[in-house]
Structures are given as structure tokens and as C-alpha cells.
């Protein structure tokens, strides 16, 4: 016992040295073995003590999608390019450009839209309405609020456009003050059984005693006349609604109804609805002439959900010339597994959805906006998803085969690892989930997009667009490979 | 094909801003192995040992912060000179003047590097000035060694001890690498006398050092880093995207992250010092078991709270100038203590909330003394007090972690307005490993303080290969959880 006590008081400084050197030597030996024999045993490569001083001799990977400037040569780094109209398809790699896969790049993409912009610029009383469909990337009016503001500044207009009856991000949306009360039920893209058709928003609301109050925050000009519409579905008989405290009766016989509630210089409107059968989608606050951009965000979707929208709803919207342009911005939710590279399953399914949309809305132009950058942690470093080039190309193919314009968001924001740099920037431009640009980042994306639109618009200043019986006539018909 | 690259090898010895030296860098393993071997060889020569230690500490600083190492040297020269001059000065007024010079220089440097841009932003906001922010990098550890310098000159001024005659000892006190980056804040009167002693490590010291190093690294590199990357960071970066439940769990997650991060780093520093024959007092004592905010500050970052008490609260008058002044002094101390953590309003709010809570607790104690005396030993009272204290501390962490006030209020809004247990199933299936890790963190935290000591007393039976084995198992666990690019410890910029 005494010996033990004595031992514990003896100087053990040698133990520190023995322990340190033994552990270091074992780790060093393990590192050398792991390097020489390429062992990944127990994740040894993650703690390799010599990894920083050895040089890997490998051929550098050719970049699959190299974002190219408009002026640079459009070589084809993708192997399947040989089976495609080489130069035209290559356009999808262009940064900051709306492409329409046409050899004649002096002609604008989205010619009908550009022509309508021209009308606005000339002072005609016209309304350009753009539906921007997307996922959580545009939630809270991110991206679209900047895009809308820019276009409204150039071509006129004000107002936030469509606002759903309820939204999870309502309190953070800066373009509109939005509150509601009462008991509501909801049907969405995610529900199997639906009692009413869905609108672009993917949410249908019902209430017996609900109220909604909206205050537009896009313009401080108190003299402008702001029209407020209720967007709702079909209801039998007369529908009674309290608008700003006054009872109003109207009919809602169509599948989609736009009911003018108020046309005044007031920025606010309040509604009280007590009809459980009335499918309520939302409201719209817009000018009598100018640009309207409707934000339709739905968390966690890929775009395939748009196939759930009744074609008769789409046709009615088309007949009433509701939308000049439909933008589809998806992709982040397709990259849910870090190692996915094959999106052919998506291409097949989404192609059917786009065809249905295009067929039902022949007078509307379409634009596919590619995914933005998204990163995963591979081994020990955050990097862009390995499949992102493949996804962008898939989305470009969808656009190419369906006479749809395309915008490469991924390349435009800076290409590989941009989201990693954005999250690390100070102040940051993206969240630490390495998916979502924040308010500051979204502002950059919105500005890039509006600049790309203006670039196309400027083309018709020098060369008028060809207008014919619809957008299909302005673009080459392309066959699938 | 792999080959040894000489230029890469040589580059390892230089400072790399993208990869500053931390305890979890591979380079540190070699650094420590070489250092400890030489230190052992020179064990019988105290002067040579000190020179060696200084050299390695300054080199560590260089690898962690580049040429800011010059600042440590400069402040060591200035404070060594001033403290000796204070000691030798004959009149009280000369001593005072010299002390003021030291305070102005030390706080001036800290202010310049840490707070200049904060005050420029303040001028721009409130005075509509248009001053461009300066491109100033924060030297690593400046908050810590500034406080160490200050306490040293103040202690000499107060006549508590004679200033150190050997400059190298003073330099080592400031630059001692185990605590250089993230503390604890060491007092010269505890530290410097130990440099004169022979290099001795008894069996207890060895096993305790080992335990502190490995458990500290585990807390920092496994628990904290895992939770930070896989949960806390992304929720705090945009709370509006997450449900109330996720946000609430992120707050509890952050409470364990900050504890593991900070106490883990402190433990490694204390453990390493133990192995080098130097004892540094414990810095954290299971703080979330506190029954009041007052007790919390006796268990959390003890070296800072005791520093604030001795060099700020007491000079302000402490509790000697009446009740109201006591509350005001507590508030000011904590407000400045909060500001010490970082140049932002959120740290000031965090400090202010703790200051108010400390004052309220004092008031509650003095008004309900009899009731508390009767209840304080009862289990229900203890549990309730622990629960309330923990919730309050967690609430304050929201402001500490959030990048700005707006984000903090967003997170609180999500918890108060968007909380629903209906998402529990999805939450569990998505985050179960996060929950396991949090549970492990809290489990380690509630291990009674004396439990580890009791276990370590039996450690003399443990053979060396078992220590090495445990360490290698830890390394493999770390490798498994390694989060990639080194996650900067949260207190690094403080």
C-alpha cells in the first residue's frame, strides 16, 4: 500500500513523453500505411497526419459544366453533345443570359413578353403578368421581390401581386403586411383527395369565419390606384363577403375567379369570409397598367406537383390571357441525396408536366430557371453537389425539348461552390444549410435575373421580334434526340 | 500515385490564414511531440526550459495568428517595464500615472483591434457620419492576454506581489500556448511562481491531465462540432425557415455547444498545463446545474467572472456603497463583460440581461431570506431553481449566438408563434442523431464534479498501453465525426 502511495507521488514526467511519442508514432505509421496502401480503414484518411505533405498525381477532372461568357467559344464539354444540335444547346451554359436555343442570338428570348414590355415603355395601357413558380428558394418573396421591383421601375407598375390566403413566412415578407384570423382548413399539392381544383399556388383554403388583412408595402406613393382582387374557385349561388367592413355580393361561376374588391389609393384591404364552400386561393394587389409578378412558392417541391393542376383551370387562365410568362424555378429538392447524378427519371416525369402546361396555355411563354448552387459535405469539405452539373443539364434539356426559354441560375451566381462562399462571406449571402441564399443573396439573384430580362428587351430595340400565332411559332421545333 | 512534396512540407511551417493552428490540427501533434521531447531533455535547467517554452509558445501564436505575434511581444515588453517601474516608483501619484499608462495602452490596443469598426458603425448610424469601416483583423487571444496584463499591473500597483524580474518568465506567462487562444485567463501570482519549480508530474497529474485533454477534445471536436454543423448553425442562420420546435431545440443545442466548445478548450489547456507541471485552476464546474444566475457565474468561465469581480466590480465599489449602487455595479460589470465577448449589440444585450438577473437575484435573496433558508434544501426547490436558471441562461444564449438582434427575435417569434408538437415525428426521424449527441453532451455535463476525481484516484493501476489505446480510440471516433475544415471555436474571436 505504501509503495503504491509512494509511486503515485513519484515524478511521472517521463510518462508524458512516452505517451506522446508512442501515440504520435502510431498515428504517423497509420498515416503512412493509409497513404501508401490507399487504406480508408476506420476513416483514417480523415486524420491522416501526412496528407498535407503528399502530392496526389492525378489528371485534373474536366469540368462538366464550365460557365462560359457570352463572348467565349461554346465548346461542348458534355459527351452527349454529339447527338444534339451542338451550338444551340450549348447556350444553356451561358451566364446571366436568357437563352432560347436559337442560332440567331440577336433575336430576344421570350419575344412576346419583350414586345409587351415595349408597349408598356411606349405608354400603352397594358398589363404584363408573370407567374413565378418555385420552392423554398423564393419563399417570403425572396428573389421575386427584387426582380419585380427592378422591372416595375423600368416598365412601370407597383403592387405585390398574388399573396396566398395564408403563408408560413407571412411575418417575414417585407413586400406585404399580411395577417389572418379565424378557423381555416387547407388542401395542398401534398393532399390526395381534393374538393376543389388547385391553383398555381398549390394551396386552397376554406373558412366559415376567416378574416384576411393585407397591406401592400411595395410603393409609398399614396396617389397611385391599387386594384385588389380576390382569387377564388367556384361556388354555387351568390357569394357574400365583407370587404373593408362592407358586405358585398358576387358570383364565382368559373373554376378560377378574379374578383375586383377595391380599386383605390388605399394600400390595405381586409376581408371577412364566411362561406365554407368557397375555395380561396389568395388575393392580388396590382396596378392598372404595368408589371405584375406573382410569387407562388411551395416548400419542398420539385415542379412535378404542377401536374396536379387541373388542365381546365390552366385553359381558363389561358383563355383569359392571365399570364404572359410562367417561370419555373426548381431543383434544390431534387438534390436530396449527396451522391445523386442521374436525373433522367425527373426529366421523363417533368417533361409530361411541362407538355401539359404548354398545351393548356398556348398563348403563354415559359421559362425554366435552373437550380441554384447547393452544397453537401463530402468527406471533410463543403462542396457543390456532385450531381449539380447533371441536374442543370437535365433542366436545360427539358427547356430545349419543349420550346421553353432557359436561364442558368447556377452558372449565373458563380458556378461551383458559390453557395459555400456565400455562406462564409461577411456579411453572409446564404444560410449555413448551404441551400438557401438569404435576403442579401436573393437580392443578387433577383438583380441578375432582371438584368438578363432587360438584356433581351434591349435586343428588340435594334431588331423587332417576330410575332406570330404564339410563342411556338417564334422558336424552332426541336425533336428529341 | 502519391509522392512526398518538399514545398508542401516546408509550407507547413508557415502561417496559413485558411488553416490556423488549433489543437485539432495534424501539425499540432508533431508540434507537441517535438516540444515535449525537448522540454523533457531540458527538465533540469529551468532557464533553458523557459526559453524553449517561450519559443514554442510564440511559434504557436505565429502559426495561429501570423505576425500578430509581435503584439504579444510588444505588450509583454511594455507591461514588464511598466510593472517594474510601478514597483520602484516612490510616490503614489507616479505609481498611479504608470498604472494609468498601462491601462490606456492595453485597453487602447484592445479597443483598436476589437471595437473600432463597431464605433464607426455607431457614428454612421446615429450621427449620419459616412466613415468607411477599417480593414482590421482581430489578433487571436488579444482579449485574454490584455486582461492578464491588466490584472498583473493592477496587482503590482496594489502591492500584492513583487513584479517578476525575469522578462522571459513574464513573456511565458502571457504567451503560454495551451491557454493562449481561448483562455482560461491566468493570474500571474498563481502562474509565475510555478515556473521556478522543478518539472514534476505525479501519477495523479498525469492521469488527470490525460482525462482533461481527451474529454476536452471529445467535447469540442465530437459533440460541439457535430451539433454545430449538423443542426445549430443552419437553424440560427435563418430561424424563419424552421418550426418553433426546431428553433427551441437549436437553443438547447447551442447551450450544449457553447459549453462543450468552451469548457472543452479550457479542459485541454488545463490538462496540457498539468502535463507540463503547471496547475491552472478549473474554469467550468457543471454550470447548468446552477440554482441561480449568481451561482451560474461561479461555475461558468470562472477565470473571467473572478477577473471581472476583482478588477471591475470591486473597483466600482462592489457592495460597499449601498444596495442601489450594488445593483448598478453588477449591471455595469456584466454589461461590459458582455461587450468583452464581442463588438456587437447582441453581446451587450446578453451581458445586460445577466446583469439585471444578478441584481434581481440579489434583491430576491435579501427580501426572502427566511423563505429561501427554509426551502433551499428541499429537492423540489432545488429542481425548480435549476430549471428556471437553465431556461434563463438558454434564453440569453439566443442573443449570444444570433448574428444580429433581428435574427434573435425571429427565433423567439418562431418558438412563441410557430410551435407545434405535430412535427415531432418528422423532427425525430430527421434529427435523431442530433438528439443522441445532445443527450450525450448533457450526460457528460451532469457527471458529478467529484466522480471523475474518484475514478482517477484508481488510475495508478492503468498501464501506459491502455492510455495509448484509449487515445487512439478517441482519434478514430474523432475521424469518424470529423466535420471537415476546422470549425473555429466560438470564443476564438473574443
Please report how many Cα atoms fall inside a 13 Å half-sphere around the Cα of residue A192, on the Cβ side.
Answer: 0
Nearest chain A residue to B472 by CA distance is A23
Of A8, A36, A433, the CB nearest to B203: A8
> Looking at the predicted structure, is the pLDDT value of residue B411 above 90?
yes
- Helix, strand or coil, per DSSP, at residue A56: strand
pLDDT at B484 over 80: no
- pLDDT score of B124: 86
Kindly report, residue by residue over B335-363, the tens digit of the pLDDT.
Answer: 999 999 988 999 999 999 999 999 999 99
CB contact under 8 A, B237 and A19: no
- Here the contacts of B137-141 (C-beta below 8 Å, separation 24 or greater) are B137/B68, B137/B113, B138/B113, B138/B114, B138/B493, B139/B65, B139/B68, B139/B71, B139/B113, B140/B20, B140/B61, B140/B64, B140/B65, B140/B68, B140/B180, B140/B181, B140/B492, B141/B61, B141/B64, B141/B65, B141/B72, B141/B180, B141/B181, B141/B182
Percentages (nearest 5) of helix, strand, coil residues in chain B: 75, 0, 25
A221 and A313 part of one domain: no
- Which of A13, A36, A47 comes nearest B200 by C-beta? A13
Measured between CB atoms, which of B29, B476, B479 is closest to A24?
B29
Tally of domains in chain A: 3
pLDDT higher for A170 or B459? A170
- Torsion angles phi and psi, residue B359, rounded to 5: -65, -45
Specify if A239 maps to a domain: yes
Does residue A59 sit within a domain?
no
Interface membership of B467 toward A (CB under 8 Å)? yes
Q: Which of A3-7, A87-91, A112-116, A148-152 has the lowest mean pLDDT?
A: A3-7
Select from B26, B197, B199 the residue whose CB has the most chain A CBs within 10 Å, as the one to mutate to test that interface. B26
Q: How far apart are CA A86 and CA A63, in angstroms?
A: 18
For chain A, say whether B94 makes contact (Cβ under 8 Å): no
Contact A12 B205 (CB under 8 A): yes
- Residues of A whose CB is below 8 A from B479: 42-44, 46-47
Residues of A in contact with B209 (CB under 8 A): 16
| Residue A479 confidence (pLDDT) above 80 | no
C-alpha cell of residue B205: 497529474
Residues A126 and A273 in one domain: no
- One domain, residues A163 and A301: no
DSSP class per residue in B190-257: HHHHHHTS-----HHHHHHHHHHHHHHHIIIIIIIHHHIIIIIHHHHH-GGGS-HHHHHHHHHHHHHH
User: What residues in B contact A21, CB-CB < 8 Å?
Assistant: 33, 36-37
**Does residue B6 sit in helix, strand or coil?**
helix
Chain B nearest-CA residue for A10: B202
Query: A469 to chain B, minimum CA–CA distance in Å?
Result: 43
* B484 and chain A in contact, CB less than 8 A: yes
User: Which residues lie across from A378 on neighbouring strands?
Assistant: A381
Cβ contact (<8 Å) for B4 and A169? no
Q: What is the pLDDT of residue A468?
A: 42
Element (H, E) at A246: strand A246-252
Q: Considering only alpha carbons, which residue of chain A is nearest residue B419?
A: A168
Tens digit of each residue's pLDDT (9 = 90 or more) over A230-275: 999 999 888 899 999 999 999 999 999 999 999 999 999 999 999 9
Span B192-241, pLDDT tens digits: 999 888 898 988 889 999 999 999 999 999 999 889 988 899 899 888 88
Residues of B in contact with A53 (CB under 8 A): 4-5, 8-9, 12
How confident is the model at residue A462, as a pLDDT?
67
Residues A244 and A105 in one domain: no
Cβ contact, residue pair B5, A428, below 8 Å: no
The residues with which A99 forms a beta bridge, in sequence order, are A406
Residue-level pLDDT at B452: 78
Lowest mean pLDDT among A30-34, A180-184, A194-198, B245-249: A30-34
Are B29 and A49 a contacting pair at CB < 8 A? Answer: yes
Nearest to B8 among A18, A46, A55 (CB): A55
- Domain coverage including residue A27: 2-53
Rounded Cα–Cα distance for residues B477 and A43 (Å): 9
pLDDT the model gives residue A90: 83
Domain assignment present for residue A38? The answer is: yes
| pLDDT one-digit tens code per residue, B371-381 | 888 888 888 99
Q: What is the DSSP string of A92-128?
A: GGBSS-EE---S-TTSPSSHHHHHHHHHHHHT---EE
- Please state, in angstroms and as integers, the Cα–Cα distance from residue B60 to each residue in A427, B8, B23, B55, B176, following that order: 29, 19, 10, 9, 9
Question: How much is the pLDDT for A44?
Answer: 61
Q: Are residues A153 and A164 in the same domain?
A: no
Residues of B forming the active site = 341
Domain spans of chain B, in order of start? 14-195, 203-291+376-493
CATH number at residue A192: 2.60.120.1360
Is B1 touching A (CB cutoff 8 A)? yes
Co-location of A308 and A456 in the same domain:
yes
The stretch A333-350 carries a mean pLDDT of: 91
List B residues 139-198 in contact with A (Cβ-Cβ < 8 A): none
Question: How far apart are the CA of B50 and the nearest CA of chain A, in angstroms?
Answer: 16
**Proportion of chain A above pLDDT 90, given as a percent:** 65
Could you report the per-residue pLDDT of B300-325, keeping only the tens digit for each?
Answer: 999 999 999 999 999 998 888 888 88
Q: Do B234 and A433 touch (CB under 8 A)?
A: yes
The residue of chain A nearest to residue B473, with distances taken between CA atoms, is A42
For residues B430 and A325, the model is more confident at A325
Chain B (276-295) residues lying within 8 Å, Cβ to Cβ, of chain A: 276-277
**Does A300 share its domain with A416?**
yes
Is A52–B8 a contact, with Cβ atoms under 8 angstroms apart?
A: yes
Per-residue pLDDT of B151-191, as tens digits, reads 999 999 998 888 888 999 999 999 999 998 888 999 988 99
pLDDT at A87: 66
Residues A164 and A258 occupy one common structural domain: yes
Predicted pLDDT at A74: 35
CATH number, domain with residue A402: 3.40.50.1110
* Residue in B with minimal Cα distance to A58: B1
Residue among A9, A27, A42 whose CB faces B202 most closely: A9
Last residue of a domain, one of A239, A265, A288: A288
Given a contact cutoff of 8 angstroms between Cβ atoms, the answer to whether B288 and B259 are in contact is yes
- pLDDT interval class at A108 (50, 70, 90): very high
Say if residue A265 is in the same domain as residue A349: no
Of chain A, the percentage scoring pLDDT greater than 70 comes to 84
pLDDT tens string B79-122: 999 999 999 998 999 999 999 999 999 999 999 999 998 899 88
- Confidence band for A410, pLDDT divided at 50, 70 and 90: very high
- What's residue B242's pLDDT? 87
B201 with A16: Cβ contact below 8 A:
yes
pLDDT of residue A231: 96
Share of chain B above pLDDT 70, in %: 96
What pLDDT, on the 0 to 100 scale, is given for residue B417? 87
Chain segment A366-380, per-residue pLDDT in tens: 999 999 999 988 877
Query: Which residue is listed with cell 507541471?
Result: B277
List the single residue in A8, A13, A136 with the smallest CB-CB distance to B460. Answer: A8
Q: CA of B482 to nearest chain A CA: how many angstroms apart?
A: 7
- pLDDT computed for residue B128 by the predictor: 78
Residue A184 belongs to some domain of the structure: yes
- Alpha helices by DSSP H, listed for B230-344, are 233-237, 244-275, 293-299, 302-308, 323-341
> pLDDT category, A460, cuts 50, 70, 90?
confident
- Closest-CA distance, A266 to chain B, in angstroms, reads 29
**For A130-179, how does the pLDDT look when each residue is reduced to its tens digit (9 = 90+)?**
999 999 899 999 999 999 999 999 999 999 999 999 988 888 899 999 99
Rounded mean pLDDT of A340-356?
A: 95
What are residue A285's DSSP bridge partners?
Answer: A161, A228
Q: State whether residue B417 sits within 8 Å of chain A by CB.
A: yes
> Which residue, B225, B1, A278, is CA-closest to A259?
A278
Q: Looking at A220, A255, A288, which one is the last position of a domain?
A: A288
What average pLDDT does this structure show over B455-481? 85
Q: What is the pLDDT of residues A37-81, one digit of tens each?
A: 776 655 566 667 777 766 655 444 433 344 444 333 333 333 333
- Name every residue whose Cβ is closer than 8 Å to that of residue B152 and which is 6 or more positions away in sequence: B79, B83, B163, B170, B173, B187, B188
pLDDT for residue A47: 67
Residues A365 and A458 in one domain: yes
Same domain? A316 vs A260: no
Q: Do B460 and A7 touch (CB under 8 A)?
A: yes
Sign of CA dihedral B239, B240, B241, B246: positive
Please check whether residue B432 touches A, CB under 8 A: no
**What residue in A sits closest to B199 (Cα-Cα)?**
A13
Q: Of A11, A18, A382, which is closest to B200 when you measure between CB atoms? A: A11
Q: Which of A245, A266, A288 is the endpoint of a domain?
A: A288
Chain B residues in contact with A440 (beta carbon < 8 A): none
A228 near A267, Cβ under 8 Å?
Answer: no
CA B84, B90, B91, B92 torsion: positive or negative?
positive
ipTM: 0.87
Amino acid at each position: 500500500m505504501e509503495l503504491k502511495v509512494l509511486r503515485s507521488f513519484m515524478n511521472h514526467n517521463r510518462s508524458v513523453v512516452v505517451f506522446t511519442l508512442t501515440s504520435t508514432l502510431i498515428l504517423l505509421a497509420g498515416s503512412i500505411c493509409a497513404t501508401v496502401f490507399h487504406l480508408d480503414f476506420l476513416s483514417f484518411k480523415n486524420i491522416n497526419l501526412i496528407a498535407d505533405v503528399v502530392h496526389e498525381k492525378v489528371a485534373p477532372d474536366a469540368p462538366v459544366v464550365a460557365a462560359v461568357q457570352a463572348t467565349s467559344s461554346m465548346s461542348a464539354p458534355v459527351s452527349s453533345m454529339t447527338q444534339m444540335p451542338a451550338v444551340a444547346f450549348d447556350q444553356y451554359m451561358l451566364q446571366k443570359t436568357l437563352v432560347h436555343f436559337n442560332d440567331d442570338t440577336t433575336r430576344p428570348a421570350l419575344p412576346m413578353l419583350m414586345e409587351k414590355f415595349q408597349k408598356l415603355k411606349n405608354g400603352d395601357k397594358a398589363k404584363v403578368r408573370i407567374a413565378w413558380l418555385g420552392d423554398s428558394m423564393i419563399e417570403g418573396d425572396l428573389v421575386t421581390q427584387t426582380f419585380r421591383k427592378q422591372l416595375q421601375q423600368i416598365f412601370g407598375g407597383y403592387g405585390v401581386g398574388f399573396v396566398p390566403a395564408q403563408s408560413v413566412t407571412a411575418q417575414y415578407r417585407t413586400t406585404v403586411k399580411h395577417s389572418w384570423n379565424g378557423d381555416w382548413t387547407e388542401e395542398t399539392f401534398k393532399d390526395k383527395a381534393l374538393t376543389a381544383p388547385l391553383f398555381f399556388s398549390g394551396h386552397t383554403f376554406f373558412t366559415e369565419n376567416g378574416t384576411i388583412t393585407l397591406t401592400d408595402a411595395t410603393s409609398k406613393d399614396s396617389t397611385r390606384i391599387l386594384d385588389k382582387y380576390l382569387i377564388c374557385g367556384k361556388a354555387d349561388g351568390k357569394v357574400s363577403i365583407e370587404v373593408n367592413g362592407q358586405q358585398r355580393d358576387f358570383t364565382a361561376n368559373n373554376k378560377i375567379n378574379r374578383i375586383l374588391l377595391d380599386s383605390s389609393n388605399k394600400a390595405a384591404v381586409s376581408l371577412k369570409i364566411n362561406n365554407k364552400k368557397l375555395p380561396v386561393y389568395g388575393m392580388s394587389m396590382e396596378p392598372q397598367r404595368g408589371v405584375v409578378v406573382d410569387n407562388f412558392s411551395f416548400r419542398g417541391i420539385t415542379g412535378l406537383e404542377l401536374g396536379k393542376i387541373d388542365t381546365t383551370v390552366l385553359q381558363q387562365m389561358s383563355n383569359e390571357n392571365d399570364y404572359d410568362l410562367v417561370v419555373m424555378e426548381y431543383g434544390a429538392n431534387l438534390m436530396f441525396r449527396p451522391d445523386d447524378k442521374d436525373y433522367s427519371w425527373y426529366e421523363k416525369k417533368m417533361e409530361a408536366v411541362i407538355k401539359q402546361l404548354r398545351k393548356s396555355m398556348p398563348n403563354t411563354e415559359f421559362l425554366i430557371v435552373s437550380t441554384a448552387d447547393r452544397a453537401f459535405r463530402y468527406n471533410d469539405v463543403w462542396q457543390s453537389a456532385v450531381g449539380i452539373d447533371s441536374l442543370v443539364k437535365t433542366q436545360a434539356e427539358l427547356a430545349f425539348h419543349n420550346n421553353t426559354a432557359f436561364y442558368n441560375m447556377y452558372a449565373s451566381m458563380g458556378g461551383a461552390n458559390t453557395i459555400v462562399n456565400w455562406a462564409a462571406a461577411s456579411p453572409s449571402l446564404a444560410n449555413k444549410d448551404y441551400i438557401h441564399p438569404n435576403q442579401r443573396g436573393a437580392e443578387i439573384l433577383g438583380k441578375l435575373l432582371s438584368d438578363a430580362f432587360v438584356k433581351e428587351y434591349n435586343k428588340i430595340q435594334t431588331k423587332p421580334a417576330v410575332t406570330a400565332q404564339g410563342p411556338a411559332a417564334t422558336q424552332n421545333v426541336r425533336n428529341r434526340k | 500515385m502519391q509522392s512526398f512534396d518538399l514545398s508542401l512540407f516546408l509550407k507547413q511551417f508557415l502561417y496559413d490564414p485558411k488553416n490556423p493552428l488549433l489543437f485539432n490540427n495534424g501539425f499540432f501533434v508533431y508540434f507537441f511531440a517535438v516540444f515535449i521531447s525537448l522540454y523533457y531533455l531540458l527538465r533540469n535547467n529551468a532557464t533553458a526550459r523557459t526559453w524553449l517554452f517561450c519559443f514554442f509558445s510564440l511559434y504557436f501564436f505565429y502559426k495561429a495568428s501570423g505576425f500578430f505575434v509581435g503584439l504579444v511581444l510588444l505588450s509583454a515588453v511594455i507591461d514588464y517595464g511598466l510593472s517594474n517601474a510601478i514597483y520602484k516608483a516612490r510616490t503614489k501619484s507616479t505609481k498611479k500615472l504608470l498604472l494609468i499608462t498601462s491601462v490606456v495602452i492595453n485597453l487602447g490596443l484592445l479597443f483598436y483591434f476589437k471595437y473600432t469598426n463597431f464605433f464607426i458603425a455607431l457614428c454612421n448610424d446615429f450621427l449620419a457620419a459616412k466613415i468607411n469601416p477599417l480593414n482590421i483583423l482581430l489578433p487571436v487571444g488579444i482579449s485574454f492576454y490584455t486582461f492578464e496584463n491588466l490584472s498583473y499591473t493592477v496587482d503590482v500597483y496594489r502591492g500584492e506581489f513583487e513584479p517578476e524580474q525575469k522578462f522571459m518568465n513574464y513573456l511565458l506567462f502571457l504567451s503560454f500556448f495551451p491557454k493562449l487562444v481561448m483562455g482560461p485567463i491566468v493570474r500571474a501570482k498563481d502562474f509565475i511562481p510555478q515556473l521556478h519549480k522543478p518539472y514534476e508530474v505525479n501519477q495523479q497529474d498525469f492521469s488527470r491531465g490525460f482525462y482533461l485533454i481527451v474529454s476536452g477534445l471529445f467535447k469540442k471536436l465530437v459533440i460541439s462540432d457535430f451539433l454545430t454543423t449538423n443542426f445549430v448553425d443552419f437553424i440560427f442562420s435563418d430561424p424563419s425557415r424552421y418550426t418553433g420546435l426546431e428553433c427551441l431545440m437549436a437553443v438547447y443545442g447551442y447551450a450544449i455547444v457553447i459549453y462543450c466548445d468552451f469548457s472543452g478548450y479550457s479542459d485541454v489547456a488545463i490538462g496540457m498545463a498539468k502535463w507540463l507541471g503547471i496547475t491552472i485552476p478549473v474554469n467550468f464546474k457543471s454550470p447548468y446545474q446552477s440554482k441561480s444566475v449568481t451561482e451560474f457565474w461561479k461555475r461558468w468561465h470562472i477565470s473571467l467572472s473572478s477577473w471581472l469581480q476583482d478588477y471591475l466590480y470591486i473597483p466600482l465599489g462592489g457592495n460597499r456603497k449601498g444596495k442601489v449602487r450594488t445593483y448598478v455595479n453588477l449591471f455595469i460589470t456584466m454589461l461590459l463583460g458582455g461587450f468583452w465577448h464581442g463588438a456587437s449589440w447582441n453581446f451587450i444585450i446578453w451581458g445586460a440581461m445577466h446583469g439585471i438577473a444578478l441584481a434581481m437575484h440579489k434583491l430576491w435573496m435579501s427580501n426572502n431570506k427566511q423563505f429561501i433558508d427554509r426551502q433551499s434544501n428541499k429537492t423540489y426547490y432545488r429542481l425548480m431553481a435549476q430549471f428556471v436558471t437553465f431556461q434563463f441562461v438558454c434564453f440569453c444564449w439566443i442573443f449570444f449566438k444570433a448574428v444580429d438582434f433581428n435574427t434573435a427575435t425571429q427565433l423567439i417569434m418562431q418558438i412563441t408563434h410557430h410551435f407545434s408538437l405535430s412535427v415531432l415525428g418528422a423532427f425525430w426521424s430527421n434529427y435523431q442523431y442530433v438528439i443522441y449527441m445532445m443527450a450525450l453532451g448533457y450526460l457528460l455535463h451532469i457527471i458529478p464534479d467529484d466522480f471523475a476525481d474518484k475514478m482517477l484516484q484508481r488510475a495508478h493501476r492503468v498501464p501506459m498501453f491502455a492510455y495509448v489505446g484509449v487515445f487512439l480510440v478517441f482519434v478514430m471516433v474523432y475521424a469518424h465525426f470529423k466535420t471537415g475544415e476546422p470549425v473555429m471555436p466560438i470564443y476564438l474571436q473574443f
